[in-house]
Structure 1
Amino acid sequence: MRDAIRERFIELFSTEPYFFRSPGRVNLIGEHTDYNNGFVLPAAINKEILFAVGPNDTDTIRLFSYDMQEQATFDLARIAPSDISWANYLLGVVAQFQQSDYQVKGFDLVFGGNVPIGAGLSSSAAVECGLAFALNHIFGFGLDRFALAKVAQKAEHEFAGVRCGIMDQFASLFGKKEHVIKLDCRSLDYSYYHFEMSNNCIVLCDTQVKHSLASSEYNTRRQECETGVALLHKHYPDVSSLRDVTVDMLEKHRQEFDPVVFKRCIYIVQENSRVEAACRALEQEDLVLFGEKMFESHEGLQHNYEVSCTELDFLVDQAKEHTAVLGARMMGGGFGGCTINIVRIAAIDEFITAMSKAYEQQFKIPLKTYIAEIVDGSSMLS
């Protein structure tokens, strides 16, 4: 694909480009904890977006989506959200630089990649981070990776209309080969943990469904968590988020909670503890224990946070039947999308064959699978 993107850039713009790459991400454990100031454990993966970029000495930006085979041109003096949805992720990045008084000059861009759209691997963050990284290099803005992650996050907020946390952009920029990142979503402190990939692999199973409940239920979950925090704050003034809460606190005041709100809160508190336990397991090179925490996470998401669905539960139940699977859970907001599975490399083909057959028999939908390696974050290519 890199050769094809380069050739198209030269064909369109008659010059040799700079080349950059920006990866998608998975989240091994720590779901719905980000907006509760908790912990997450993402990693950058080898599904990535490639960028051929070059300055053009004009006051316009010329964009070409290799995947969509569409072209668009915009005046730098009038950057605003567009009717072209794929362009908005790029325009949002340009706008953020402009709002911070960094002078973006005219440039040409051809981009494309193999991050599956709609599979929960953060293709949008990969696009935003990749362009931010590229423009920062080409125009010499001198921003560090954290500042670029904030640029990309704000681009998503303001031009794509998605009020995302910073995990996706952070993982795309800060990824490290064969390491996961423990990110504290309150302080934004982070640390790396080695993830043994010589005998194991990450396999994603894509349900190819997205139930209509997803967006409305997401907002409801946030509200339910805030309700729980408000109740506990009356008893514990230092409690400002579920990050500050323990299981003992919840149990002590259980009778005051709406039962549904209690379930939401106890899931978040337990999930934060699971992330920390999973990190200790990685320190001990114990992927079996790590996998157990993944299975526990799914049970919490299924029964207490109630954001799973029949298709996701089926895939996790099937994964439990395979001795080569160390752990599995739903990944992302829920109500569809992917499960993430840690599978022994020697059994990958057998696992994918069995899962695909079972899923299609059950739901009459073909199962898409992706094998993911953990890679470095956004970078310039030679």
Structure 2
Amino acid sequence: MELLTQLTASYQDAFHATPVSVCSPGRVNLIGEHTDYNEGFVLPAAIDKAIYLAAGLRSDDAIHLIAHDLGETYVGSISDLSPTHTWADYVLGVVAQLRLAGHKLSGFNCVFGGTIPIGAGLSSSAALENGVGFALNELCGLGIDRLNLLKMSQRAENDFVGAKVGIMDMFASMMGRAEHVIKLDCRSLEYTYAPFRMDGVRIVLCDSQVKHSLVVSEYNTRRAECESGVRFLKVFYPEINSLRDVTMDMLDRHLRETQPLIYRRCAYVVQENQRLLDGVAALEANDLATFGQLMYGSHEGLSNWYQVSCPELDTLVDIARRQPGVLGARMMGGGFGGCTINLVREDGLDAFKTQLTKHYKAATGKDTSIHVCKIENGTHLIHPTIS
């Protein structure tokens, strides 16, 4: 592709060597939102929007980074890894984790750029972290398996960057498989692949152009509300440890009348886990129509029960629901802005884009950007030659 050609040329011009090239994709989550910190299930997939890296080893301990899209550089050392509070920390944090694990590294050069729309909630940071770890694992012959690489990416973002993210983003980016989604158990990290046959169907992301201004504070509030529900129920059911262990019967019996707000929060999570399991069954039966209806149910729960949507996201879903060829739609991510994810038949894609753009502008006064995606493989080598 053109970007990879540019990155390779930039690397060769700067470092006079041939790099190894890595593709590390962004991710979407088809269903299962706010279930991860409740030890539930998520259903992500890697997509064809990615971070691309051209990397190679040095004979000294220097680190030379070029952020192609930003036109910025970083120069540092393997032996002096301190946070810079810039984009470089996503790279340096992975290096720090590799060293903490006892792996011997030399200096390296890296040029990177991407096709992941920034701010759309597609996890460009996880893609970059995975790509760096994967490239260094290959270049240095470290022999680290994919699961441990992605765990290092998560720790890099948690401990070095300072963002307390869950593991889903890294997992989907690293472990993705073309035309499959990943059913990931956030309690055990056990996972299976479910088929997602994209013949005639595309995943379409519609950006509300609303920033997630409330997401951190409200995320913490929702998490506390869920934990409160578990503590209350544990008096009656000592064996439960999270909402993963809770049933609607438990909620109806003990929370519905006494704590209606906590009931609604917990009920959404319990129902969303079941929607995900039902969705996997639909995919295994190649029933995208049923899966799409479950996506609508997910949005209704997120908007009305968990209350993490916003008027613009609700408007996007309402418009999508009225368009022919749309199988399902819902908000994606933490909420209060960002994107909706839509399943759209390919033969109706152009009309969908036109109608959604027009009606969203009329309803909100805002423009939207639309990104069409396919499900692809996770982090992988493109050019294995090491010089």
Shorter chain as normaliser: what TM range?
Answer: over 0.9
Residue type of the alignment partner of 1:264: R
1:364 Cα shift? 2.1
Question: How far apart, CA to CA, are the structure 1 residues paired with 2:288 and 2:15?
Answer: 49
Residue in 1 aligned with 2:147? 146
Q: Does 1:17 align with 2:15?
A: no
Residue type of the alignment partner of 1:22: S
Question: How far apart, CA to CA, are the structure 2 residues paired with 1:54 and 1:176?
Answer: 26
Q: Deviations 1:1-35 (Å, cap 9, x if unpaired)?
A: 11111111111111111111100000000000001
- Output the TM-score relative to the length of structure 2: 0.97
Residue in 2 aligned with 1:218? 219
Residue type of the alignment partner of 1:10: Q
Residue type of the alignment partner of 1:39: F
Question: How far apart, CA to CA, are the structure 2 residues paired with 1:46 and 1:340?
Answer: 15
Q: Select between 152-161 and 236-245 the one with higher mean Cα deviation.
A: 152-161
Residue type of the alignment partner of 1:87: A
Question: How far apart, CA to CA, are the structure 2 residues paired with 1:36 and 1:208?
Answer: 28
Question: How far apart, CA to CA, are the structure 1 residues paired with 2:30 and 2:257?
Answer: 33
Question: How far apart, CA to CA, are the structure 2 residues paired with 1:72 and 1:7?
Answer: 18
Question: How far apart, CA to CA, are the structure 2 residues paired with 1:308 and 1:191?
Answer: 29
Identical pairs, percent: 52
Question: How far apart, CA to CA, are the structure 2 residues paired with 1:64 and 1:258?
Answer: 53
1:258 Cα shift? 2.4
Gap runs ≥5 in structure 1: none
Residue in 2 aligned with 1:378? 379
Residue in 2 aligned with 1:271? 272
Report the number of matched residues: 381
Q: Does 1:244 align with 2:245?
A: yes
Contact 2:324 2:348 in 1 (8 A): no
**Any residues of structure 2 matched to 1:144-223 within 5 Å, and which?**
144-223=145-224
Question: How far apart, CA to CA, are the structure 2 residues paired with 1:303 and 1:366?
Answer: 25
1:115 Cα shift? 0.6
The structure-2 alpha-carbon separation of the partners of 1:331 and 1:236, relative to structure 1 and needing over 3 Å to count, comes to same
Q: Deviations 1:265-313 (Å, cap 9, x if unpaired)?
A: 0000000000000001011111100000000000000001000000000
Contact 1:203 1:343 in 2 (8 A): yes
Residue in 1 aligned with 2:286? 285
Residue in 2 aligned with 1:346? 347
Residue type of the alignment partner of 2:102: D
Gap runs ≥5 in structure 2: none
Contact 2:175 2:379 in 1 (8 A): yes
Question: How far apart, CA to CA, are the structure 2 residues paired with 1:151 and 1:380?
Answer: 19
Residue in 2 aligned with 1:358? 359
Contact 1:228 1:257 in 2 (8 A): no
The structure-2 alpha-carbon separation of the partners of 1:255 and 1:373, relative to structure 1 and needing over 3 Å to count, comes to closer
The structure-2 alpha-carbon separation of the partners of 1:257 and 1:120, relative to structure 1 and needing over 3 Å to count, comes to farther
Question: How far apart, CA to CA, are the structure 2 residues paired with 1:221 and 1:8?
Answer: 45
Residue type of the alignment partner of 2:279: A
1:250 Cα shift? 0.3
Residue type of the alignment partner of 1:94: V
Residue type of the alignment partner of 2:185: D
Q: Deviations 1:179-211 (Å, cap 9, x if unpaired)?
A: 001000011111111111111110000111114
Question: How far apart, CA to CA, are the structure 1 residues paired with 2:258 and 2:123?
Answer: 35
Residue in 2 aligned with 1:76? 78
Q: Deviations 1:233-253 (Å, cap 9, x if unpaired)?
A: 111111100000000000010
Residue in 2 aligned with 1:320? 321
> Deviating runs (4+, > 4 A) in structure 1?
none
Residue type of the alignment partner of 1:209: V
1:322 Cα shift? 1.2
Contact 2:183 2:194 in 1 (8 A): yes
Residue type of the alignment partner of 1:46: D
Residue type of the alignment partner of 1:81: P
1:363 Cα shift? 2.0
Q: SS of 2:87's equivalent?
A: helix
Residue type of the alignment partner of 1:242: L
Question: How far apart, CA to CA, are the structure 2 residues paired with 1:358 and 1:58?
Answer: 57
1:323 Cα shift? 2.4
Residue type of the alignment partner of 1:176: R
Question: How far apart, CA to CA, are the structure 2 residues paired with 1:40 and 1:332?
Answer: 11
Q: SS of 1:26's equivalent?
A: strand
Residue type of the alignment partner of 2:186: C
